Chain A
Amino acid sequence: MTQYIIRRILYAFPILLGVNILTFVLFFVVNSPDDMARLQLGQKHVTQQAIDNWKHQHGYDLPLLWDGHASAEEKLTHTIFFQKSAGLFVFNFGVSDSGRNIGADIQERALPSLALALPTLAIGLVVNICLALMMVLFRSSYLEQAGMVLCVLLMSVSSLFYIIGGQFFAGKLLKLVPISGYDDGFAAFKFLVLPIAIGVFSGIGSGVRWYRTLFLEEVGKDYVRTARAKGLTETAALFRHVLPNAMIPILTGVVVVLPSLFMGSLIMESFFSIPGLGSYTIDAINSQDFAIVRAMVFLGSVLYVLGLLLTDISYTLVDPRVRLS
């Protein structure tokens, strides 16, 4: 087990190196520093002088990978790759194009993101599982059919509609909660209630359908028949036998997204003006701040690799048949 984890962490290095090189190519080769400067300065009436100035200010006037003119070790370090990309490996995100410290920004904005994403996930999980179990308990009845139709209806409506509709009803008409904004500490609660509720609600359609499929697959298995032959009631068989087995795919599906929760939700945070990492990324994209986008892409891949590792470990915890080696 320990050996397996060590090996997986070793695997992560080449993967992250690949991610790093790929983002480097995307951000500096496909989209050259000249283009970046032009976007920053505005498309029209830009002199080459202004572009060079901007590049020099932001350190984009260096060679990409190899500086033939520099001395000894500076041949490698005096490059865009080393100064802008390599630092990501030690989570040194550097300074954004607008001059902010990205590392400090991320630290500050991770908490609001988590405060929104974690409850949405946890509450959504409980609600979806309960509803799915209920549908399985009443399977092949009109209740289930009605539930399925409802799920499809919920799925068919865009989540943007739920957001705007929720803000209109709960925020504007009923004045239960503020329409958007954020506050520090516990005062954040009243700002978070609506986005969390909407997040949970918009996930019900697809979530319940997916969990119902998982439960139904387990219900048809032989060991459930054994459980009923033992004398267990339908409900007892469902809770004692089906649920633990169906939890294997459910839990592992949840664990893989756990680390990514830090990254926040792009849409929710933007609509509700929550100063999390999701809105941070959106803002960076809007203002063409590629230093931030680069940092977020790399951070996202690190967290995803971590998520996959956690998933494998969680398999061993919930499924006795799986042994990692």
Chain B
Amino acid sequence: MVYAPNRQFPDPMNPPILSIEHLSVTFNHGQTVVDDISFAVYPGETFALVGESGSGKSITALSVLRLLPPNAQINAQAINLQDRNLAQLPEMELCKIRGRRIAYIFQDPMSALNPVMTIGQQIAETVNLHFSLPAQALQQRVLELLQQVEIPNPQQRVNDFPHQLSGGQRQRVMIAMALAGRPDLLIADEPTTSLDVTIQAQILALLKNIQQQTGMALWLISHDLALVSSVADRVAVMQQGQIVETGVTEVFFSQPKHPYTRKLLNALPSITHVKTSAGTTAPPLLQVKDFCCYYPIRKGLFQRVVDHVKAVDGVSFELHAGKTLALVGESGCGKTTLGKSLLNLLPHNSGQVFMDGVALHELSGEALRKQRAAMQMVFQDPFAAMNPRMLIGDIIAEGITALYPEVTGQERKNRARQLLQQVGLPEESASRYPHEFSGGQRQRICIARALAVNPRLIVCDEPTSALDVSVQAQIIGLLKTLQREQGVSYLFITHDLAVVAEIADDVAVMYKGKIIEHGSAKQVLAQPQQAYTKKLLSAVPVLRAA
């Protein structure tokens, strides 16, 4: 995904639309989140503020219009919107700027929209607030805005509630709401992070398109460097509350100066660096034949099953020992259902699963439980995947206790410590609780937990998508090392094609419950056969200057 270069550069003759001077934000009178930063956004340009989670980029954006929770203290020499200093404006005056001169788009459109108001009402509210229009004209303006953000059938959609729209459409509604005030500056805080890659491309194209029509400035906040490289005119990198580097996009990506920037760029997985792997003739470790998972649709007075949602519909594949099969697809395509039901964590309807010759689909009860030693899972959200009231050592050892009851307590302890070392954590971690660790560390613990019972197969369900780029690179590195040393196989479920290129030997593309393309990573990523695969690949943001 590359946009035509239409670069705007800061023109010294052209004064900035927004200039921030010496802004600091502290929480609860102590913890400094934004630390004395200064920068400016110029009319008509796209300015990107990038950084990892917790670097303070969202807080910076929210502090401009004082949208932070009450326990945040904002200190700024000046926050100038052209000639007005927002830092000294009383709350009532600021309300007239919010939505009118500066508008926001937030990350998750589902939670950012009011669930009990129709989208029409929510857009009309903004219009009405800043331009009092008669009812007829107001309705007209709302429809016009929905048209501008390319919502199909705005006449009918205007009375829909947010939950009736798809994720992409919800974000379009958010954009329409932001445009309603005809702002001079649009602050988009991770506008595409919660969306699928193809939808992400559409939303970005829409934003750029609208920017060209209206000439507004766009301040984009993102953690995704590849995405930023394709849309931004200027980039600033934030680390621990400070801006460490600012530059024009081309220069920034071709000659990064600050070590942190270089680290971020190096950590970026690239879809062009496909892992090559030798073929194998050994019998497959995991063999799946015509696997189906249906969810019943119940209707009528007695809730009879009238139809099924075919979450997984006749999937077959093989996975060899020590190899990685990436299962790729957009949200809702059935990839997580497949992963969970292969391990019998969800029921399946038909199909056969052979693990090392053992027919998993015929096992139940104790026999199935014993078999779990061979197959483990690593979940997407390491925050939610661990019992917060258990010690790390106990979390890791629990599987050993359950599956190898003959192992003594001391051996278990030793094994847990050894596993912690293996995943790159200090041994002392065993006597600490999950909340004491960062996201990446928690995912390491989850991997150690999966490894504890000596599995032959680990199903990794989006193991890196909740993590920052540099942490993601570390986790992928860890997974690769473990595979080399122990010969584990991974079924790697992901939506991120760049990660696939890093780790996968084979790739299977899922669409609406079916595998539509399957082959070696090199083949699928370099010469996709199916139109859907091509569409997925072309939507992936690529570093421009790399």
Give the contacting residue for B106; candidates A225, A232, A234; CB below 8 A. A225
**A240 — which chain B residues lie within 8 A by C-beta?**
125
**B177 — which chain A residues lie within 8 A by C-beta?**
226, 230
Give residues 241-289 of A contacting B (CB, 8 Å). 241, 244-245, 248
A222/B116 in contact, CB under 8 A: no
B300 contacts the other chain (Cβ, under 8 Å)? yes
A318/B116 in contact, CB under 8 A: yes
B71/A140 in contact, CB under 8 A: yes
B515 to chain A, nearest CB (A): 32
Give the contacting residue for A325; candidates B92, B95, B299; CB below 8 A. B299
B104 contacts the other chain (Cβ, under 8 Å)? yes
B63 contacts the other chain (Cβ, under 8 Å)? no
Give the contacting residue for B98; candidates A7, A140, A228, A319; CB below 8 A. A228
B259 contacts the other chain (Cβ, under 8 Å)? no
B98/A231 in contact, CB under 8 A: yes
B181/A319 in contact, CB under 8 A: no
Kindly state the separation between the CA atoms of A6 and B106 in the bound complex, as whole angstroms: 43
A227/B114 in contact, CB under 8 A: yes
Known: A245-B116, A319-B116. A230 touches B106 (CB 8 A): no
**B71 — which chain A residues lie within 8 A by C-beta?**
140
Interface of A is mostly: helix
**B106 — which chain A residues lie within 8 A by C-beta?**
222, 225-226
Kindly state the separation between the CA atoms of A319 and B117 in the bound complex, as whole angstroms: 10
B111/A221 in contact, CB under 8 A: yes
A231/B115 in contact, CB under 8 A: no
B67/A229 in contact, CB under 8 A: yes
Give the contacting residue for A231; candidates B126, B174, B299, B300; CB below 8 A. B126
Kindly state the separation between the CA atoms of A231 and B132 in the bound complex, as whole angstroms: 14
Kindly state the separation between the CA atoms of A244 and B125 in the bound complex, as whole angstroms: 15
Give the contacting residue for B126; candidates A230, A245, A320; CB below 8 A. A230
Give the residue name and chain of the A residue nearest to B62 (CB): A225
Known: A222-B108, A222-B111. A229 touches B98 (CB 8 A): yes
B112 contacts the other chain (Cβ, under 8 Å)? yes
Give the residue name and chain of the B residue nearest to A228 (CB): B67
A231/B130 in contact, CB under 8 A: yes
A49 to chain B, nearest CB (A): 56
B161 contacts the other chain (Cβ, under 8 Å)? yes
Q: Mark B76-110, 1 if CB is under 8 A from A, else 0.
A: 00000000000000011001111110011010100
Kindly state the separation between the CA atoms of A241 and B126 in the bound complex, as whole angstroms: 13
A3/B70 in contact, CB under 8 A: no
B238 contacts the other chain (Cβ, under 8 Å)? no
B141 contacts the other chain (Cβ, under 8 Å)? no
Known: A3-B300, A226-B106, A244-B117. A231 touches B181 (CB 8 A): yes
Give residues 113-128 of B contacting A (CB, 8 Å). 113-117, 125-126
**A232 — which chain B residues lie within 8 A by C-beta?**
95, 125, 129
B125 to chain A, nearest CB (A): 7
Q: Mark A205-240, 1 if CB is under 8 A from B, else 0.
A: 000000000000000111101111111111000001
A6/B161 in contact, CB under 8 A: no
Please indicate which of the listed interface residues B67, B98, B116, B126 has the most CB atoms of chain A within 10 Å of its own CB: B116
**A325 — which chain B residues lie within 8 A by C-beta?**
298-299
Known: A7-B302, A140-B71, A248-B116. A223 touches B99 (CB 8 A): no
A321 contacts the other chain (Cβ, under 8 Å)? yes
A56 contacts the other chain (Cβ, under 8 Å)? no
Please indicate which of the listed interface residues A7, A223, A226 has the most CB atoms of chain B within 10 Å of its own CB: A226
**B278 — which chain A residues lie within 8 A by C-beta?**
none
Give the contacting residue for B115; candidates A228, A229, A230, A320; CB below 8 A. A320
**B303 — which chain A residues lie within 8 A by C-beta?**
7
A229/B70 in contact, CB under 8 A: no
**A140 — which chain B residues lie within 8 A by C-beta?**
70-71
B180 to chain A, nearest CB (A): 8
B301/A230 in contact, CB under 8 A: no
B33 contacts the other chain (Cβ, under 8 Å)? no
Known: A231-B96, A231-B100, A232-B95. A223 touches B114 (CB 8 A): yes
A139 contacts the other chain (Cβ, under 8 Å)? yes
B92/A233 in contact, CB under 8 A: yes
B99/A231 in contact, CB under 8 A: yes
Give the contacting residue for A241; candidates B97, B114, B161, B300; CB below 8 A. B114
A242 to chain B, nearest CB (A): 9
B163 contacts the other chain (Cβ, under 8 Å)? yes
Kindly state the separation between the CA atoms of A140 and B28 in the bound complex, as whole angstroms: 12
Kindly state the separation between the CA atoms of A321 and B116 in the bound complex, as whole angstroms: 8
B48 contacts the other chain (Cβ, under 8 Å)? no
Chain A to chain B contacts (Cβ below 8 Å), 13 pairs: A7-B301, A221-B111, A222-B112, A223-B113, A226-B104, A226-B106, A227-B125, A229-B67, A231-B129, A232-B125, A240-B125, A241-B117, A321-B115
* 6 nearest CB pairs, A to B: A231-B99, A222-B111, A230-B99, A231-B98, A229-B104, A320-B161
